């Protein structure tokens, strides 16, 4: 993976028209001569599979090995890899209830060759499940992990559905499950994709009497899957929202993890004018991390809170009262818009996230926003910038009202004219300048250090021989300095306004 900033985007929401040319259009936008030409070293394409408009914005694929023809073809993906590293999602936990495999199972029931592919309650609890067993299962959303379904052949089943009724969990160790996942990896490798993100992998293994989330058996599955991917020349990113110490443990066993603690900690630093919790995390965070401030999901809260699964009680990176106040500050900064998209206010519930654009979470303050991005880029790891964040996007209340899905507040559809207009905003131009600096300056391949000279200050520094880059931020006054050497070794300064 290149040590350069990557873009995270939906193909159809960044200048898309759903006319079969969207992937080609994206390639022109990001390629030489495009409006974002040579800004990014790579791009994470959020689900582009058939179909992109199911129950969960493409995360419930009908056919995980087919590009949605409204976006383009595998040849278009291959063309995109000529200039950029491309990451794709492998959705390991489930597939669509409209998939050919599930339709065959529904029609033929236990006589279907895919009968063992889909998890039922009995498959996990052959001796039966007690109330305590079901309550012990870790849930990302309200409700039980199973749904009653009547198959087309008349059979009734209790199907395991971690997320929605349209996303049927698969048995990853069943021969059909293994073949299914390997076919995805092989297709990706053949088409030039060299990085994959394991979506929802923390829930992939189920075990009677356990939490069914990030168990030893889950780690063993990740190890096995990553080995398969590496044999095909593919690196693996694991997506886990969990207590911060679990994230450190996970990072020691995988290629890449997300630094999901960073977004709320950066907000905390600005909201409370203190660097302590952020600096505490910097001192222990894994370096094989993709740093993010925003993604297609909400702003994680569980990642810096106390360990909810520990009966003894393990404290988080910030006290509970400050965590609650952080959430309320986001709601206040967004004029209450995030409250309308979070928790019980919207469907597709996420118990551990606040749905809001990062720009709106900071009250549309350009200086704070650019400093937040500078902090992200200066930390060890590979930065990713979400397409809405790239354009310092606002909450899309119209889309939220149409869909009723909380996360859609941060999933705006930009047309080409809108992109051209947003790229002229000073905050966006300064962000792109910062991305180019992060991608090209040799200091970022050197040694990293950090220090907090006061409770309100933080300094991050990179040094590679005579080349250096330094960021200093005072979270109380917003006084800041970003300095770096130029080609002749002279110090240059960049100020945000």
Phi, psi of 259 (to 5 degrees): -90, 80
The pLDDT score that the predictor gives to residue 347 is 47
The pLDDT score that the predictor gives to residue 71 is 98
Under a CB-based contact definition with an 8 Å cutoff, are residues 52 and 96 in contact?
no
DSSP 298-359: -EESGGGS--TT-SS----SS-HHHHHHHHHHHHHHTTTHHHHTSGGGSBS--TTEE---HH
The pLDDT score that the predictor gives to residue 56 is 87
- 44 marked ligand binding residue: no
Task: Evaluate if residue 480 carries a pLDDT over 70.
Answer: yes
- 352 marked ligand binding residue: yes
Task: Evaluate if residue 114 carries a pLDDT over 90.
Answer: yes
Task: Evaluate if residue 333 carries a pLDDT over 90.
Answer: yes
- Assign 309 a pLDDT band (cuts: 50, 70, 90): low
Closest to 124 in 3D by CA, of 47, 223, 255, 212: 212
- Per-residue pLDDT tens digits for 129-160: 999 999 999 987 788 999 999 999 999 999 99
CA distance 184 to 173: 15
The pLDDT score that the predictor gives to residue 348 is 40
Q: Determine how many CB atoms are found less than 10 A away from the CB of residue 116.
A: 18
Task: Evaluate if residue 311 carries a pLDDT over 60.
Answer: no
Specify the pTM.
Answer: 0.95
Q: What residue spans of 81-136 are helical by DSSP H?
A: 100-108, 121-124, 131-135
CA distance 291 to 305: 19
Tell me what percent of the residues of the chain surpass a pLDDT of 90.
89
Average pLDDT, the chain: 94
Under a CB-based contact definition with an 8 Å cutoff, are residues 46 and 58 in contact?
yes
Closest to 259 in 3D by CA, of 247, 268, 271: 247
Active site residue 89: no
- 22 marked ligand binding residue: no
Active site residue 224: no
- Per-residue pLDDT tens digits for 359-374: 999 999 999 999 999 9
3-state secondary structure of 247: helix
CA distance 342 to 212: 25
- 239 marked ligand binding residue: yes
Q: Looking at 22, 89, 199, 457, which residue is catalytic?
A: 199
| Residue of 270 and 301 predicted with greater confidence | 270
Closest to 140 in 3D by CA, of 299, 326, 310, 302: 302
- 198 marked ligand binding residue: yes
Task: Evaluate if residue 387 carries a pLDDT over 70.
Answer: yes
The pLDDT score that the predictor gives to residue 453 is 87
Paired tokens of 254:
């995988």
- 197 marked ligand binding residue: yes
The residue assigned the tokens 């409770």 is 455
Paired tokens of 426:
């000073």
Q: CA angle, corner 248, sides to 246 and 249, nearest 5? A: 65
- Per-residue pLDDT tens digits for 250-294: 898 889 999 999 999 999 999 999 999 999 999 999 999 999 999
- Per-residue pLDDT tens digits for 17-32: 999 999 999 999 999 9
Under a CB-based contact definition with an 8 Å cutoff, are residues 140 and 350 in contact?
yes
Q: Looking at 12, 76, 85, 239, which residue is catalytic?
A: 239
- Assign 434 a pLDDT band (cuts: 50, 70, 90): very high
CA distance 260 to 247: 9
The pLDDT score that the predictor gives to residue 349 is 43
Paired tokens of 478:
């917003």
- Assign 352 a pLDDT band (cuts: 50, 70, 90): confident
Q: Determine how many CB atoms are found less than 10 A away from the CB of residue 156.
A: 9
Longest dimension (CA), the chain: 76
């Amino acid at each position: 993976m290149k040590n350069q900033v990557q873009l995270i985007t939906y193909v159809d929401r960044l200048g898309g028209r759903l006319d079969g040319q969207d992937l080609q259009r994206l390639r022109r936008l990001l390629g030489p001569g495009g409006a974002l030409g040579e800004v990014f070293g790579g791009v994470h394409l959020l689900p582009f599979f058939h179909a992109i408009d199911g129950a969960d914005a493409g995360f419930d694929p009908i056919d995980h090995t087919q590009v949605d023809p409204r976006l383009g073809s595998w040849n278009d993906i291959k063309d995109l890899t000529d200039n950029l590293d491309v990451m794709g999602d492998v959705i390991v936990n489930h597939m669509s209830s409209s998939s050919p495999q599930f339709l065959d199972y529904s029609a033929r029931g236990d006589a279907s060759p895919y009968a063992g592919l889909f998890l039922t309650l009995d498959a996990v609890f052959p001796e039966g499940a007690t109330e305590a067993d079901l309550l012990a299962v870790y849930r990302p959303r309200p409700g039980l992990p199973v749904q009653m379904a009547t198959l087309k052949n008349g059979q009734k089943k209790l199907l395991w559905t971690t997320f929605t009724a349209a996303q049927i969990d698969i048995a990853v160790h069943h021969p059909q499950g293994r073949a299914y996942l390997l076919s995805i990896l092989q297709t990706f490798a053949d088409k030039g994709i060299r990085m994959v993100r394991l979506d929802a992998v923390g829930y992939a293994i189920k075990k009677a009497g356990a939490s069914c989330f990030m168990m030893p058996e889950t780690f063993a599955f990740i190890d096995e899957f990553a080995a398969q991917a590496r044999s095909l020349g593919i690196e693996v990113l694991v997506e886990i929202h969990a207590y911060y110490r679990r994230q450190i443990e996970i990072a020691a066993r995988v290629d890449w993890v997300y630094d999901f603690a960073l977004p709320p900690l950066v907000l905390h630093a600005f909201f409370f004018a203190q660097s302590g919790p952020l600096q505490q995390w910097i001192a222990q965070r894994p370096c094989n991390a993709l740093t993010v401030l925003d993604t297609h999901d909400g702003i994680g809260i569980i990642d810096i809170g106390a360990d909810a699964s520990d009966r003894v009680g393990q404290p988080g990176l910030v006290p509970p009262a400050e965590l609650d106040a952080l959430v309320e500050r986001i709601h206040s900064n967004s004029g209450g818009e995030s409250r309308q998209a979070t928790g019980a206010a919207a469907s597709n519930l996420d118990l551990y996230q606040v749905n809001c654009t990062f720009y709106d979470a900071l009250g549309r303050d350009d200086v704070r926003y650019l400093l937040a991005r500078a902090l992200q880029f200066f930390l060890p790891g590979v930065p990713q910038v979400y397409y809405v964040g790239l354009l310092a996007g606002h909450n899309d209340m119209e889309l939220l009202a149409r869909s009723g899905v909380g996360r859609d507040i941060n999933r705006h559809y930009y047309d080409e004219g809108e992109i051209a207009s947003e790229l002229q905003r000073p905050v966006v131009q300064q962000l792109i300048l910062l991305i180019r600096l992060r991608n090209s300056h040799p200091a970022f391949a050197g040694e990293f250090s950090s220090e907090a000279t006061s409770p309100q200050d933080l300094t991050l520094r990179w040094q590679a021989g005579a080349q250096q880059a330094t960021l200093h931020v005072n979270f109380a006054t917003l006084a800041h300095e970003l300095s770096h050497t130029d080609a002749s070794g002279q110090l240059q300064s960049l100020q945000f306004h």
